Every structure is written in structure tokens, then in C-alpha cells.
A and B are shown apart, each in its own frame.
Chain A
Amino acid sequence: AQKITQTQPGMFVQEKEAVTLDCTYDTSDPSYGLFWYKQPSSGEMIFLIYQGSYDQQNATEGRYSLNFQKARKSANLVISASQLGDSAMYFCAMREGRDDKIIFGKGTRLHILP
């Protein structure tokens, strides 16, 4: 069974609009961490934001925020005021408390339109 599910294979958004990228996860471990990474067309993987399962507040990093709904097991990434440079593949990922590894979802390709 998939542990990380990203249901939007692709999205098109007008520049300057806010965008929400969906992510749901599945774990029975009470201790886990959730990550979002960006992969532009150049191919590198860029860390964006992190949310721990025990964090009381939603994480924010500049224009990025993570809408963490623990009961629904969702960790959506919100990008405010999107820019052309936000066009990229976005991956949601999780580390469970007992693991070293981070596992990734299949990604969402975001296209920002001028």
C-alpha cells in the first residue's frame, strides 16, 4: 500500500494565484515527519518545508506553508502568490519514527502560467 499519495499528477495555475498541492499519508507510527521537496527541470531536489507529527502549529517557510490536518492524515503544501519560477515537480515525503529513510510520493507537476 502506498504510504504517500499525491492525487494531482499535474496542475496549471495562473501567476500570482495561491496554489495547494495535495498530499495524504498512511502510517501507524505516532512519530513521523513530513517533508516537501521541489524538483525543477534542472533535476535537483530542493527541500522546502518540514512538519513533525507532534508540532502544534502548521509549518511556514516564506511563501510556503504546510496545511497539516493530522486526523485526516493530510499535509498539503500551500504556495502563496505563485511565481513563474515555481513551475516544477513537487514531492511530498515522510519519515516514520523508526526509520532513517524518507519515502516519497509520486509527485505533482506544477505549471505556472504568465
Chain B
Amino acid sequence: EPEVTQTPSHQVTQMGQEVILRCVPISNHLYFYWYRQILGQKVEFLVSFYNNEISEKSEIFDDQFSVERPDGSNFTLKIRSTKLEDSAMYFCASSVGGGLGEKLFFGSGTQLSVL
């Protein structure tokens, strides 16, 4: 069964450093998302991406964050200057379409630890 792939599974970085989290969505999916989850708690929406541009973003997704689809398969989340509070599990997700009932398929996540 096709799946969303995220790398790395765990990333440790120093505060102030840039990190790039990578995702390969399911190949025929058109909508891409990043979510984060702090300490196994609430899953928070960051950004959605469709047709090579951001379609929605949350208040969390400030100027320190950016997303990119550099080629036909990868979808990346960049944090320019990490803060301690950026430590979280980051999930990439994709869906075939953006319709009401379109379920999101999630990757296994990247655990980001900012020291």
C-alpha cells in the first residue's frame, strides 16, 4: 500500500540552526500538509499546499517556516532559526484531493529536538 515517507525519523539540532524536514507524499496525491504534535498532545495544523503554493497556514506558521516542493516527489518544511519551543513531532500528510471527505494519509513523523 502506498505510504507517505518522512526523513529523518529523528533530528537533533542546536537552537538557532536551520533544519529541513523531508517528506515524500503518495505519488498521485495533490494536497500536502504539515502538522506538529508536542509531547504526544494535540495535533496542530501548520500549513497546506496545493498547486505549488500555500493554500492555508496557521498562526504557528510564521516567517521562520517555509515549505517547498522542489521536484515532483518531495515536499519539505524548513525552519530557518530553530527555537526550543519548535521541539515537536512533525507530521507530513497528503490527500488525493481537497474535498470535504478526503482523508489525510500521514507519514510516521520526524521528531525534532532543539537543544
Q: List 23 A-B contacts (CB under 8 A).
A: A31-B100, A32-B100, A33-B100, A37-B106, A43-B108, A44-B106, A44-B109, A45-B104, A45-B106, A47-B105, A91-B43, A93-B43, A99-B56, A100-B31, A100-B48, A100-B50, A100-B98, A101-B33, A101-B58, A104-B35, A104-B44, A105-B42, A107-B41
Contact count A vs B, C-beta below 8 Å: 59
Residues of A within 8 A of B (CB): 31-33, 35, 37, 42-47, 50, 52, 89, 91, 93, 95, 97, 99-107
CB proximity of B23 to chain A, nearest CB, Å: 14
Q: Does B45 interact with chain A (Cβ within 8 Å)?
A: yes
With a cutoff of 8 Å between Cβ atoms, the chain A residues found around residue B89 in the complex are 43
Report how far A50 CA is from B45 CA in the complex, Å: 19
- Bin the interface of chain B by size: 20 to 34
From A33, A47, A52, A101, B56 is in contact (CB under 8 Å) with: A101
Report how far A91 CA is from B105 CA in the complex, Å: 14
| CB <8 Å contact, B100 and A43 | no
CB proximity of A71 to chain B, nearest CB, Å: 20
Report how far A101 CA is from B41 CA in the complex, Å: 18
Residue in A closest to B50 when the chains form the complex, CB atoms? A100
Q: Does B103 interact with chain A (Cβ within 8 Å)?
A: yes
